[in-house]
Amino acid sequence: MENDKYSILRNSMVQSQIIARDITDVNVLTAMKKIPRHLFVDENYFNDAYSDFPLPIGFGQTISQPYIVALMTEELELKKEDRVLEIGTGSGYQTAVLAEIAKEVFTVEKIQGLAERAEKILNTLHYKNIYFKNSDGYNGWIEKSPFDKIIITAAPKDIPESLLKQLKDGGIMIIPMGSAGWSQSLYKVKKNGKKIIKKEVCGVSFVPMVKDDD
């Protein structure tokens, strides 16, 4: 049985950081109350796992602040029949949140060490609807496309055309954009035929999205 301490911390996190900031999607709240976020960070950070800030996960990467995970997931407008592409598996925590709600999650991570560790954790938690790929995120996952929703957890300077092509007509993409060390913004992108509708959600700070040839 899970340590009650983490269950208490998790419920407090959802109440004080997520609900208090107007996240109302019941599926998102339920997922974040359930998933043991501390398992996705180093043991040294277990007690900080439910705090209101990002944490290092090695390889120069971070696990996002809980509120940002909740916000990005809510903005995706996930449905239970959705097939989702995630670019940047990272710790695997965002992946788990997606997998609690959507039908299938196809997650791509460029850094092999992170990809392997996240897959191990998620398999330990018995997720059967997550598919893993260790590859350059700019390429997406063409063989499994098109996707209902796409979420990107690293910041390119512009929307990658290759990923836009893998989004279904009527689909939604959530993506941070901007230069590293400069002002970045989170965008909600809707694909409507040849028309792309882009809406700024809020300011954010993500690691840069890097191509293999950069």
Q: Which residues are catalytic?
A: 64
Report which secondary-structure segment, H or E, holds 173. strand 167-177
Distance CA 73, CA 162 (A): 22
Q: Is the dihedral of CA 147, 148, 152, 153 positive or negative?
A: negative
Distance CA 124, CA 195 (A): 42
Place of tokens 């925590």: 93
Q: How many CB atoms sit inside 10 A of residue 4's CB?
A: 8
- Asked, as a colleague might, if the bond just before 146 is cis with ω within 30 of 0, I would say yes
Reduced to 3 states (helix: H, G, I; strand: E, B; else coil), residue 157 is coil
